[in-house]
Chains A and B, each alone.
Chain A
């Protein structure tokens, strides 16, 4: 069942269902409820200004997101693991060219026992672009068996490119496994030299290394067409940004 209002898209995945969907034209706001035992794989392209996504998971539900963000604006993600045993994987690739400026804000709320969250974010920031990643994991008091993981990595490709990670961990429970990390850096000069010593020019070497870096996430898209489309859109933005 899909309801499209002017500003909001509301989706409910009924219990026991398994769906895969690819969303390209985003409404400013999307809200998804995944009922008990339902499983969702969600691929999306974010190219607009501001967008927010809210996902609520009930018991035993799972949600796996892979999103390519190349918009000039903010992306807000909010995951509410409200049912026992819910699993949420939210992987994000962002590529920003020119003067694009983005704030990616992501909150994962472990509001039930035995919930698991995984988040892997990789970005390439070109030219004069600027990215801020704010990743939060929230585990309330008294929750048990929680397992959360968040990794952020960004490559700075432009002279004035800038990236920043602001983690926010609020853990009030004891029975918790929670790992997070961020690494922001430049392309490896030894790798660049190796590729160029075989004849690739600087731009080819840079593009090859950057897309290899980003494709680690995009390669997990199971649908061939969607995967190739998102990979080529990421590549386009990388080339455009150089």
Chain B
């Protein structure tokens, strides 16, 4: 199996400060990977770079996605190629309803795939079914994107967008944080349902129980100071649970 996402020796600066240093990582089609690491180690930086956020300057290394140079693609081209980020801090878009937003987004992706735009009836059906499964009301879909929603509701709306757009590569940046116990299960279930041979996930989370019970990843990466310092299976989760990141921090310094 060839890797879908190949990151090699990636170096990234933010506001002239190096954040990611020679980071390498690959993820195959259909796999679910997890990144764990202390606050500020660069996890959200990596997810932003994968989506093409121009505030982050790539100073070295490469990223390939499905054998194409991701770094040469602009933000919307990456989205249309199937990359999706559920944001840690989704931004508010006053005056644009979630339903309208999803119509534009879905049709952009379909256009890139050479498909016709969805007609109004199929579109409504598509969003209603997914909204219902995630406990999102019609009223929430009519409201402007993220405006005035609680932290947990915003996260749920990010998962909803993922379910509507059916991307190939989903990056979930702390999608479980701020969710209540039941919502965490709904979110986890969303991921379970969407798991397929033709869809990969990169899950960023600080919640070991969520990862063990809901996500059940294929591989865990530990990130410290903008670098992957350890990789392994579920056993790594137990180690982090017991000892925190201290052992990895020492390694990173040494």
Query: Measuring CB to CB, which residues of chain A are less than 8 angstroms from any residue of chain B?
Result: 188-191, 193-202, 204, 208-209, 211-213, 215-216
For the complex, is B96 an interface residue (Cβ under 8 Å from A)? Answer: yes
CB-nearest residue of chain B to A207? B104
B87 pairs with A201, CB closer than 8 A = no
A172 to B: closest C-beta gap in Å: 37
B80 pairs with A199, CB closer than 8 A = yes
CA distance A115 to B85 in the complex (A): 52
Q: Which of A188, A191, A196 contacts B79 (CB 8 A)?
A: A196
Number of residues from B at the complex interface, CB < 8 A: 32
Chain B residues, CB < 8 A from A198:
79, 84, 101, 104-105, 108, 161, 165
B79 pairs with A199, CB closer than 8 A = yes
Interface string of B97-109 (1 = CB under 8 A from A): 0001100111011
A199 pairs with B90, CB closer than 8 A = no
Chain A residues, CB < 8 A from B109:
199
B76 pairs with A212, CB closer than 8 A = no
User: Are A200 and B104 also in contact (CB < 8 A) when A193-B75, A208-B96, A209-B96 are?
Assistant: yes
A114 to B: closest C-beta gap in Å: 33
User: Are A197 and B85 also in contact (CB < 8 A) when A209-B96, A212-B95, A213-B95 are?
Assistant: yes
Closest 8 CB pairs of A and B: A212-B95, A199-B108, A198-B105, A199-B79, A196-B75, A196-B76, A194-B91, A197-B51
CB-nearest residue of chain B to A190? B91
CA distance A211 to B90 in the complex (A): 21
For the complex, is B94 an interface residue (Cβ under 8 Å from A)? Answer: yes
For the complex, is B53 an interface residue (Cβ under 8 Å from A)? Answer: yes
CB-nearest residue of chain B to A211? B95
Q: How many inter-chain residue pairs (CB < 8 Å) link A and B?
A: 76
CB-nearest residue of chain A to B80? A199
For the complex, is B129 an interface residue (Cβ under 8 Å from A)? Answer: no
CB-nearest residue of chain A to B87? A194
Q: Which of B87, B91, B105, B161 contacts A200 (CB 8 A)?
A: B105
A193 pairs with B53, CB closer than 8 A = yes
16 pairs of residues in contact across A and B, judged by CB atoms under 8 Å: A195-B93, A197-B78, A198-B79, A198-B108, A198-B165, A199-B76, A199-B104, A199-B109, A199-B165, A204-B104, A208-B100, A208-B101, A208-B104, A212-B94, A213-B95, A215-B95
Chain A residues, CB < 8 A from B51:
193, 197
For the complex, is B112 an interface residue (Cβ under 8 Å from A)? Answer: yes
Chain B residues, CB < 8 A from A211:
95
Given A194-B91, A200-B76: 9 more A-B contacts, CB < 8 Å? A189-B55, A195-B93, A197-B85, A198-B84, A204-B104, A208-B96, A208-B104, A209-B95, A212-B93
CB-nearest residue of chain B to A214? B95
Chain A residues, CB < 8 A from B95:
209, 211-213, 215-216
B170 to A: closest C-beta gap in Å: 12
Max chain B Cβ within 10 angstroms of own Cβ: one of A197, A208, A213: A197
User: Are A194 and B90 also in contact (CB < 8 A) when A200-B105, A204-B104, A213-B95 are?
Assistant: yes
Q: Of residues 142 to 191 in B, which have CB atoms within 8 Å of A's CB atoms?
A: 144, 161, 165
